[in-house]
Amino acid sequence: MDRNVYQIDVKDNPAAETEVDERLLRTVIRFNTLLTAIVMGFLGGAGLFFMTLLSLNRGLPNPGHYMNLLGVFMPGYEVSPTGAWIGLLWGSVTGAICGAVLYRIYARNLRLHVKDFILRNNSGDASYHLIVPIGGSSLGLALGTLTAGSLIVTTNWLVFRGTAEESVHARLLENFLPGYSVSLPGSLIGAIQLFVFVYLSCLLWSWIYNGIISVRHR
Amino acid sequence: MNSISRADKALLKIAFCRIDVTAMATATGAVVGLLLFLATAVLLIKGASPGVEVGPHLEMLGIYLPGYTVTWWGALLGAVYGMLLGAAAGAIIAGMWNFTHYLYMTAMVIRASWMRMMVD
């Protein structure tokens, strides 16, 4: 069988087999992309569905005054029983797309994770772990790109619709992202800051996660 | 038949590894709690003009998080809520990830066993 392989340079352990089968890598990425999309799609759909129902049933004088604004980005959505089902659909689709994009970007560094895994486990198969550390940098890159990209797309959707001036709620992001405005340059400035912020949050997240698993699965 | 290389084994381990539910819940809860605290704190530190309410829109979170307000006390309460909700979200994500992988692995083992039976 011809193996289109990626050679990993493991200087400290030259005897180790360090070739990753490209077909296996692609299959694994495709499979995990699908599963991430399913999980995130389910969470996105269920989350928006129950948030809508909660907003409807809290007995407020004007239910969904702010959540209705999601209808700008999700046509047909509103805080109503029917809108909850439309939200379920939109939330599922959006969540699935986000999940797929997230894993695809995360998986770009999968080869590095393999190399890291081998270097950390030079003792061989005896060190088999069912729980492995999550790459904070890769996760930060993926989640940061996703959130920054989402900010650019949603902001410029408002600009494209011609409602940038009326978008007072979007402008509230200025409080957290100095320099952000509902415009193309403003969205880029905001996106850069958001990327950095999310990236750092992911580093913190992975530091905590990896710290706990190293103690629990020592 | 080619034997599987060590790198391929490592790849499979990484790809099919379980997510530790406790660690995921703790890490996500800690980060979400911190973020909600920081979001509230930023508005409080920036303040508002005299007579103007601070953070009226963020305070709408009080619809979902009873008792939450844009005050220092609310920031602490928000951090607790954030930790609980983040932990719940983290546990659900980890649980679903593990469950979907478990289902797939089970299906794969059953399929492989069935095929071996057919060959035999």
Are the C-beta atoms of residues B64 and A54 closer than 8 Å to each other? yes
Contacts of A21 in chain B (CB under 8 A): 5, 8, 11
User: Across the interface, which of A19, A206, A212 has its CB nearest the CB of B22?
Assistant: A212
Contacts of A38 in chain B (CB under 8 A): 100
Look at residue B88 and tell me whether its pLDDT is greater than 50.
yes
Q: What single DSSP character describes residue B56?
A: T
Subunit contact A118:B10, Cβ cutoff 8 A: yes
Both structure tokens of A83:
């809108």
Look at residue B114 and tell me whether its pLDDT is greater than 50.
yes
Which DSSP string do the residues of chain A spell out, in sequence order? ----EEE---TT-TTS--EEEHHHHHHHHHHHHHHHHHHHHHHHHHHHHHHHHHHHTT--SSTTTTGGGGGGTSTT--SSHHHHHHHHHHHHHHHHHHHHHHHHHHGGGHHHHHHHHHHHTTT-GGG--SB----HHHHHHHHHHHHHHHHHHHHHHHHHHT-TTT-TTGGGGGGTSTT--SSHHHHHHHHHHHHHHHHHHHHHHHHHHHHHHHHHT-
pLDDT tens, residue by residue, B6-33: 778 778 877 788 889 999 999 999 999 9
Contacts of A125 in chain B (CB under 8 A): 9
Q: Which residues are CB-contacts of B58 (< 8 A; sequence separation ≥ 6)?
A: B39, B40, B43, B70
Q: Which helix (H) or strand (E) holds A20?
A: strand A19-21
List the single range of A12-16, A110-114, B65-69, B101-105 with lowest mean pLDDT: A12-16
Low-confidence ranges of chain A (pLDDT < 70): 1-18, 59-61, 122-130, 218
pLDDT at B54: 73
pLDDT at A128: 46
Q: What single DSSP character describes residue A57?
A: T
Subunit contact B31:A205, Cβ cutoff 8 A: yes
Q: For chain A, how many residues are written?
A: 218
Q: What single DSSP character describes residue B5?
A: P
Subunit contact A39:B97, Cβ cutoff 8 A: yes
ipTM: 0.82
Contacts of A16 in chain B (CB under 8 A): 6-7
Look at residue B89 and tell me whether its pLDDT is greater than 70.
yes
Looking at per-residue pLDDT, the higher value among A111 and B98 belongs to B98
Long-range Cβ contact pairs of B53-56 (< 8 A, separation 24 or more): none
**Is the CB of B41 inside 8 Å of chain A's CB atoms?**
no
Tell me which of A38, A123, A209, A214 to substitute to probe the interface with B (most B C-beta atoms closer than 10 Å).
Answer: A209
Question: Which range, A121-125, B79-83, B114-118, is most confident?
Answer: B79-83
Both structure tokens of A112:
């590095």
Both structure tokens of A129:
């772990």
